Amino acid sequence: MTKFNELGISAPIMKALEKMGFEEATPIQTETIPLALEGNDVIGQAQTGTGKTAAFGIPMINKIDQKLKKIQGLVVAPTRELAIQVAEELNRLSKFKGVRALAIYGGSPMDRQIRALKDGPQIVVATPGRLLDHMRRKTIRIDNVQTAVLDEADEMLNMGFIDDIRDILKGIPEERQTLLFSATMPKEIRNIATTLMKDPKEVKVKAKEMTVENIDQSFIEIPEKYKFDTLNNHMDINSPELAIVFARTKKRVDEVTEGLQARGYRAEGIHGDLTQGKRMSVLNKFKSGRVDVLVATDVAARGLDISGVTHVYNFDIPQDPESYVHRIGRTGRAGRTGEAISLITPREVAHLHLIEKTTKSKMKRLVPPSNQDAQRGQQQVTMDKITKTIEQKDLKPYQETAKELLEEHDSVTVVAAALSMLTKERRDTPVRISSVAPISVKKAHGSKDNNRRQNNKRVYGQRSQGGRSQGGRNNRKGNFQRRSRDQ
């Protein structure tokens, strides 16, 4: 993996990356950042969860004159949720350069956004409809924009924003740099690339980078309410040296961490609400072995360079196959084998098969381990330690005492007592984890959606929330729920 400090990134941004705990660049970042820093237009074919924001954000921030309180960077995103998330990450990346990003989206009072725009943000992250509204009112001026980014372009196409995107790009000075990111490349997106971009360089996260080697992948199908005990039992049986547990939300991270601590594990959690000092403290403890289990959200764990991880647990399965690959890639490094175990609810089985298809790998189905299995597993760990001691140590100093014990007790009783003393005592402290909705396979945009756009005319009604009616957006509710990577 490439380190960020090998990509020619300026010192203020490197300082921000270090503070965020990011060390390794993802494939899309490794290929995109140098090309964009050279001033090229770039087409990046990549899914959500591959690190696109830093891929376009770092070159964009690098070019900005922080003393000029005018919009120099523009990011167009399909949804309110993604716009907010991208703006937050750009603000973290630009913290030490003094550059500020502002999210603009429908459904929020226009006058409040106008006041925020008067404060002079250098980057605006906006949904297409609301951005055009501001452009028409001249409350957003884009004549100083040097870098324009289209994020999840195919999603904007599916939502009927393609004409808006064209209008926006035509309003930006021609000497701009344009970066376009899309999971797929339909002809409409390809047409934008050929007509509104200058000799763009193409970057693609190839399928081979989606494959995972040296990692045994398995899953356990279990109702939501039994997930935590199943996780606990599996960890008791396998006794991971270092494990990472991924949960979907900050609240789940906190609850799983507290539950594992109550059950006797040295566990700590990281997510976006922690102070930087606390986050780095937890990571240092984990790297040094003072913490056995790290519980994390995707965003908090992204880009970490941690060796020696033996097990990755997906307490909540991720929405995107790329996120799955990135998560389990925390183990199985440096030629070692690792284990990845996903806990899924019955309604998530179809989504699991989608991940298998995308990653071209098959996961083994495991039977949920019982409390008795876990107790036996802990005893096996102790037995292995005893066997290892017999093989590796000089036990002559202990043999006299051992003979005395055997004169008074039979051998099975003595060994049972030793096992009892050395085996980690299982705590069955009650643990309650808040439930979350299962992830279902994202439905393809079918005929109902497509039929609502006749002759390229949008019929979603009056503009609202990024340029579409509430009804149109509610019909795509699933598209919004998947955006929130770190709730």
* 149 compared with 2, residue with greater pLDDT: 149
Residue range 142-200, pLDDT digits in tens: 999 999 999 989 889 888 999 999 999 999 998 999 999 988 888 999 999 889 999 99
Number of residues that this document lists for the chain? 487
Residue 207, pLDDT > 70, answer no
Average pLDDT of the segment spanning 348-358: 88
Q: Which domains does the chain have, with CATH numbers?
A: 4-205 (3.40.50.300), 211-371 (3.40.50.300)
The DSSP H or E segment spanning 285 is helix 276-288
235-249, 393-407, 429-443 — most confident range: 235-249
- The phi-psi region of residue 184 (left if phi > 0; otherwise alpha if psi is between -120 and 50; otherwise beta) is beta
Residue range 90-133, pLDDT digits in tens: 999 999 999 999 999 988 899 999 999 999 999 999 999 999 99
| Residue labelled with tokens 């990003």 | 101
| Residue labelled with tokens 């360089």 | 201
The model carries a pTM of 0.53
CA dist., res. 406 & res. 77, Å (int): 74
Residue 2, pLDDT > 90, answer no
3-state secondary structure of 182: strand
| Residue labelled with tokens 């989606």 | 210
Q: Which two tokens stand for residue 352?
A: 């699991």
Of 283, 253, 275, nearest to 22 by C-alpha is 283
CA dist., res. 309 & res. 299, Å (int): 18
Residue 50, pLDDT > 80, answer no
Residue 486, pLDDT > 60, answer no
Residue 75, pLDDT > 90, answer yes
* 89 compared with 435, residue with greater pLDDT: 89
Give the pLDDT confidence score for residue 400 in this predicted structure: 87
Give the pLDDT confidence score for residue 287 in this predicted structure: 83
* 342 compared with 487, residue with greater pLDDT: 342
What is the average pLDDT value for the chain, to the nearest integer? 82
CA dist., res. 254 & res. 98, Å (int): 32
Residue range 372-387, pLDDT digits in tens: 777 777 777 778 888 8
CA dist., res. 172 & res. 175, Å (int): 9
What are the φ and ψ backbone dihedral angles of 243, each rounded to 5 degrees? -130, 145
Give the pLDDT confidence score for residue 224 in this predicted structure: 94
Average pLDDT of the segment spanning 318-326: 78
